[in-house]
Amino acid sequence: MSTITLRAAAAEASVSAPPPAAARRKPPKGKRLKYALTIAVFLLPSLIPLVMFVLGPMVSAAWTSLHSWNLIGPMQWIGLDNYIFLLTDPATHQAFLHTVYYIVGYLPLVYVGGLALALALNTALKGRAFLRGVYFLPVITSWVVVALVWRWLLNPSTGVVNSVLAWFGIEGPGWWADPAWAMPSIILASAWKDLGFVMVLLLAGLQAINPDLYEAAELDGAGWWRRLFSITLPMLSPSTFFVIVLSLINGFQVFDQVYVMTGGGPNNASQVVVQQVYDLTFRYGQAGMASALSWLLFFVILIVTLIQFYGQRRWVNYD
Amino acid sequence: MTSTALKNSTLRRTALYVVLIAGALIMVFPFVWTVVTSITPGATLTTTPKIIPDDPSLAPYFELFDRVPFARVIMNSLLIAGVSTILQVVTSAMAAYVFARLPFPGRGAIFVVYLATMMIPFQVLIVPLFAEMKTLGLINTYWGAILPTIASAFGVFLLRQAMSTVPYDLDQAATLDGAGHFRIFFQIMLPLIRPALATLTVFAFLNTWNSFLWPLIILRDPLMQTLPVALSSLQGQFSTQWDVLMAGSVISIIPMFALYVFAQRYIVQGVAGTGLK
């Protein structure tokens, strides 16, 4: 969720505030120096760590990706071989497919669930704040704890979920222990954990909709569903766009829950891209290959995000 | 309103409550179970849990503190998450002020770089970052865990959006009164963007408190471990002692929960302030 951002590129165009008139005249030299110093004092405490601990390592990873390196011995230059190998390797294709599978399962669940919750908890209900808090509870909990609990809930033989299903005469699946159900288990736990976060994002969007619109629609005799599709969803489209961009960026980087719930198994059934990066580095000692795979992932995320920004004009309503 | 319409809306309301409360129970159930297991000594994976334990006791908590330096682990987590949160909020607010109020050539490009860093999977950085920390001699130190978390593109973006909504008239009035940028920043900006600051504080603390992978790699000494790392290694040691494991889980949730309750009323407002609509 560290990614509330991309909306900024869009905001950049619309929000850019005019500089005050006084700043437009060219100030004398001493003043300019003072201005530059002010900028440095405000910006550097954040920019220096960004360069040292994010951008620097990133460039360094790009350099590593052009080498064969086992983390201990010397690096050996091999040009683009890592990339060529990865692009033709079935394991890479599989990891990307699993990641897309995760996103396709997860996104509709959290969006529809989060929207329903936001709509319900935006009405004047008693105990609304309390209910919002309850739905937000999983968001603030660490994946280590959530995974422990969900592994237990979804335990094929003793878990609560299968016990409940058994009451109804349904024989529950093997969940995380079964290759066919490993990814659905991860999706379920992730949706459960993130529902409250999506709810908050959409609530903020709902609260910005002008209530007059609803009044006018009600006078015209529009019913609940009509109002949902003609007012709420179009007016909410910036928030929806944001949720989708964010979920895709985070979805491509899905790792913690996979690492703690299945470790990519059973039988590689839930092996996602970042888990593959992790395994390449720490299990197989192929740091060069791992760096190349992370850069490939970065490019994929970048392209997917750019496509969304390009496509938003068709459906996102900014007025 | 006719009586059937009234009846209808009461019915709908009741149905809504039933659904919402059922959903809330699904949300809360795992937590209730965690707490219950943590006060049921001798609970294992295979025992059927009871919602009301036969013989509740705090013994699992005592055992936890007995067998693991858990007080130290909690202190580590509080220290790392606390310092990291303060530094993130302070540096992000200062940088956000530049992007909202202090134009200079190249500023837009730097902002785009900030945003682009959010698309980098953290796992990419692990190997080079570890090598860098080794050179700096920061392996197994608090600073080693804290430094990579300071620059927060998310924070800069969130606070910049909030500052962009503050009217320029306020700065101008202050400038006429002879206030410099530092006074405008401290006395006008910061008080006006409090909801966004609260939101960032919660999310920054949340992320560092729950952070798993980086502390796992950089803090090798058991005495330096943070809560999630200690919990996951407990899982290895106490795989049969589910009660002790859950006692640790409960302890790890409490500070986050307290912070959230405290800041809850700001959060929706803070997110709304990003210009996200």
pLDDT at B275: 47
Residues in chain A closer than 8 A to B235 (CB atoms): 148
Q: Does A166 touch chain B (CB under 8 A)?
A: no
Q: Does B123 touch chain A (CB under 8 A)?
A: yes
Apex A274 CA angle, A271 and A275, nearest 5? 45
Closest-CA residue of B relative to A277 is: B123
Q: Does A210 touch chain B (CB under 8 A)?
A: no
> Is A201 or A271 the better-scoring residue by pLDDT?
A271
Interface of B with A in 256-275 (CB under 8 A): 256-257, 260-261, 264-265, 267-269, 271-272, 274-275
Residues in chain B closer than 8 A to A23 (CB atoms): 103
Task: Report if residue B46 sits inside a domain.
Answer: no
Query: How near does any CA of chain A get to the CA of B257, in Å?
Result: 7
The beta-carbon neighbor of A8 closest among B34, B157, B185 is B157
Beta-ladder partners of A108: none
Task: Report if residue B34 sits inside a domain.
Answer: no
Task: Report if residue B111 sits inside a domain.
Answer: yes
Q: Does B22 touch chain A (CB under 8 A)?
A: no
| DSSP calls for A147-204 | HHHHHHHT-TTT-HHHHHHHHTT-----GGGSHHHHHHHHHHHHHHHHHHHHHHHHHH
- Walk me through the domains of chain A, giving residue ranges and CATH numbers: 7-11+80-315 (1.10.3720.10)
* Closest among B162, B229, B122 to A1, alpha carbons compared: B122
- Could you give the CA distance from residue A292 to residue A280 in angstroms, rounded to a whole number? 11
pLDDT at B59: 86
The neighbour count for residue A178, using CB atoms within 10 Å, is 15
Q: What digits encode the pLDDT tens for the residues A60-109?
A: 999 989 998 887 888 889 989 999 999 999 999 999 999 999 999 999 99
- Could you give the CA distance from residue B227 to residue B206 in angstroms, rounded to a whole number? 13
Domain CATH number, residue B220: 1.10.3720.10
Q: What digits encode the pLDDT tens for the residues A208-217?
A: 788 888 888 8
pLDDT at A110: 94
Q: What digits encode the pLDDT tens for the residues A18-49?
A: 455 445 556 677 888 999 999 999 999 999 99
* Closest among A262, A303, A298 to A279, alpha carbons compared: A262
Is the whole model's pTM more than 0.90, yes or no?
Answer: no
Contact assignment for A149 to B33 by CB distance below 8 Å: yes
Task: Report if residue B42 sits inside a domain.
Answer: no
Q: Does A60 touch chain B (CB under 8 A)?
A: yes
Q: Which two tokens stand for residue A5?
A: 């951002």
- Could you give the CA distance from residue B173 to residue B21 in angstroms, rounded to a whole number? 50
Q: Does A238 touch chain B (CB under 8 A)?
A: yes
Residues in chain B closer than 8 A to A287 (CB atoms): 127
Interface of B with A in 150-189 (CB under 8 A): 150-154, 156-158, 160-161, 164, 168, 171-172, 175, 180-182, 185
Query: How near does any CA of chain A get to the CA of B221, in Å?
Result: 19
The beta-carbon neighbor of B147 closest among A1, A41, A49 is A49
Interface of A with B in 287-306 (CB under 8 A): 287, 290-291, 294-295, 297-298, 301-302, 305
Task: Report if residue B112 sits inside a domain.
Answer: yes
Local confidence pLDDT in tens for the 277 residues of chain B: 456 666 677 888 888 888 889 889 888 888 888 888 888 887 666 555 566 777 788 888 988 888 888 889 999 999 999 999 999 999 999 999 999 999 999 999 999 899 888 878 787 788 889 889 988 999 999 999 999 999 988 899 888 888 887 888 888 888 888 888 999 999 889 998 888 898 889 889 988 998 888 998 899 888 999 998 888 888 777 666 778 888 888 888 888 888 887 777 777 666 665 544 3
Q: What digits encode the pLDDT tens for the residues A274-299?
A: 999 989 988 888 889 999 999 999 89
Which DSSP state fits A68?
E
Contact assignment for B252 to A150 by CB distance below 8 Å: no
- Best probe of the B interface among A39, A54, A231, by most B CBs < 10 A, is A54
Contact assignment for A53 to B253 by CB distance below 8 Å: no
Residues B241, B66 contacting (CB under 8 angstroms): no
Task: Report if residue B85 sits inside a domain.
Answer: yes
Q: Phi and psi (nearest 5°) for B40?
A: -110, 90
Residues in chain A closer than 8 A to B123 (CB atoms): 253, 255, 274, 277-278, 281, 294
* Closest among A137, A162, A144, A314 to A241, alpha carbons compared: A314
Task: Report if residue B243 sits inside a domain.
Answer: yes
Q: What ipTM was estimated for this complex?
A: 0.84
Report the Cα–Cα distance between both ends of chain B, in Å, rounded: 34
Residues in chain A closer than 8 A to B125 (CB atoms): 53-54, 57-58, 61
Residue A7 pLDDT class (50, 70, 90 cuts): very low
Report the Cα–Cα distance between both ends of chain A, in Å, rounded: 26
Q: What digits encode the pLDDT tens for the residues A149-168?
A: 888 888 888 778 888 888 88
Q: Does A245 touch chain B (CB under 8 A)?
A: no
Give me the number of domains chain B comprises.
1
Residues in chain A closer than 8 A to B269 (CB atoms): 204
Is a pLDDT exceeding 60 seen at residue A228?
yes
Task: Report if residue B177 sits inside a domain.
Answer: yes
Residues in chain A closer than 8 A to B182 (CB atoms): 38
Residues in chain B closer than 8 A to A203 (CB atoms): 268, 271
Interface of A with B in 76-115 (CB under 8 A): none
Residues in chain B closer than 8 A to A60 (CB atoms): 128, 131-132
pLDDT at A262: 87
Whether residue A266 has a cis bond before it, omega within 30° of 0:
yes
> What is the domain range of residue B230?
60-276
> Helix %, strand %, coil % for chain A, to 5?
75, 0, 25
- Best probe of the B interface among A50, A112, A160, by most B CBs < 10 A, is A50
Q: Does B18 touch chain A (CB under 8 A)?
A: no
pLDDT at B104: 93
Is a pLDDT exceeding 70 seen at residue A115?
yes
Q: Phi and psi (nearest 5°) for B211?
A: -60, 135
- Total CB pairs under 8 A between chain A and B: 295
Residue A15 pLDDT class (50, 70, 90 cuts): very low
pLDDT at A242: 80
pLDDT at B240: 66
Query: How near does any CA of chain A get to the CA of B106, in Å?
Result: 12
Contact assignment for A144 to B231 by CB distance below 8 Å: yes
